[in-house]
């Protein structure tokens, strides 16, 4: 027989401050292949049209449906209810600005850190649209492609101890971007320039090394390896400065 699921969902609208944050209970009969994304849509369509949460792709590509699932950051579209107990508690991701209920504004956060870390190729080479595409070796291209799989869902940020206590910390996703451009041969920035961007406690040296970011990444990106790469490069730059 199918289970009856009980959802305990965080409810709060920051634009209606007279109503305090609360938990609201919903019940739903489980069916085969039921994901949290489908369950939340059923609740909104059949029980409560005021429930707020984000989604776009339903395929773990857009990163919009990140939330705390029984206290653990994850994607609603990728999480099957069959992997969870019958009592499911949902909260919005911490760190990010709340929009309402389970919806948070990750876009503004990622835009800010992208601008802060200069997440684009920096080069003084003039661009000529008629030039042939600049080639790179396959191993480098594959390494960059691996890091470009980040969907900016915010799960690594929500699970980061430093990001939860320091608003100025750029987080694993931003440091991953730094690693990506350090590897890219088209970027003219040297280690010294990268040190100026993230060689501080707000950057790579603020990382506690708890590894929650990698454990929680829904795309299984090797974040710790990349953070270690950035830390090693910048530590060598710092040592060179002292010498």
3-state helix, strand, coil in the chain (%, to 5): 40, 15, 45
Helix (H, G, I), strand (E, B) or coil at 11: strand
Q: What are phi and psi of 46, to 5 degrees?
A: -110, -20
Task: Give per-residue pLDDT as tens, 66-76.
Answer: 999 999 999 99
Structural domain boundaries in the chain: 4-91, 106-242
Eight-state DSSP code of residue 160: -
Q: What are phi and psi of 33, to 5 degrees?
A: 75, 15
Per CATH, the homologous superfamily of domain 4-91 is: Beta-grasp domain (3.10.20.30)
Q: What is the pLDDT of residue 241?
A: 62
Residues contacting 166, CB < 8 A, separation 6+: 202, 206
Q: What is the pLDDT of residue 243?
A: 41
Q: What is the pLDDT of residue 236?
A: 84
Q: Which long-range contacts (CB under 8 A, 24 or more apart) does 191-195 make?
A: 191/233, 191/234, 191/236, 191/237, 192/237, 193/122, 194/230, 194/233, 194/234, 194/237, 195/234, 195/237, 195/238
- CA dist., res. 29 & res. 4, Å (int): 5
- 8 has which bridge partners? 25, 89
Eight-state DSSP code of residue 23: E
- CA dist., res. 11 & res. 214, Å (int): 29
Q: What are phi and psi of 16, to 5 degrees?
A: -125, 75
- CA dist., res. 231 & res. 205, Å (int): 7
106-242 CATH: 1.10.1060.10
Residue 205's nearest CA partner among 185, 173, 228 is 228
User: Model pTM?
Assistant: 0.91
**Average pLDDT, consecutive stretches of 10 residues, N- to C-terminus, the chain (243 residues):** 94 95 98 97 97 93 96 97 98 97 97 94 91 91 95 97 94 96 95 93 93 95 95 84 53
Q: What is the pLDDT of residue 242?
A: 56
Measured between its terminal Cα atoms, the distance across the chain in Å is 70
């Amino acid at each position: 027989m199918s289970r009856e699921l009980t959802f305990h969902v965080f409810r709060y609208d920051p634009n209606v401050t007279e109503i305090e944050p609360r938990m609201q209970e919903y019940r739903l009969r489980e069916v085969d292949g039921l994901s949290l994304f489908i369950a939340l849509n059923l609740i909104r369509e059949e029980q409560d049209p005021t429930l707020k949460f984000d989604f776009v792709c339903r395929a773990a590509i857009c990163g919009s449906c990140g939330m705390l699932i029984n206290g653990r950051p994850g994607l609603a579209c990728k999480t099957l209810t069959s992997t969870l107990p019958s009592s499911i508690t949902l909260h919005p991701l911490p760190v990010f600005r709340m929009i309402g209920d389970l919806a948070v504004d990750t876009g503004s956060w990622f835009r800010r850190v992208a601008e802060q870390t200069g997440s684009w190729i920096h080069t003084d080479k003039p661009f000529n649209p008629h030039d042939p595409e600049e080639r790179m070796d396959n191993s480098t291209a594959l390494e960059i492609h691996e890091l470009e799989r980040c969907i900016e869902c915010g799960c690594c940020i929500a699970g980061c101890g430093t990001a939860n206590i320091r608003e100025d910390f750029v987080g694993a996703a931003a440091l991953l971007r730094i690693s990506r451009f350090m590897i890219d041969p088209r970027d003219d920035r040297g280690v010294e320039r990268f040190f100026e961007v993230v060689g501080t406690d707000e950057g790579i040296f603020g990382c506690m090394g708890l590894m929650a970011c990698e454990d929680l990444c829904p795309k299984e990106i090797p974040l710790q390896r990349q953070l270690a790469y950035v830390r090693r490069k910048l530590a060598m730059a710092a040592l060179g400065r002292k010498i």
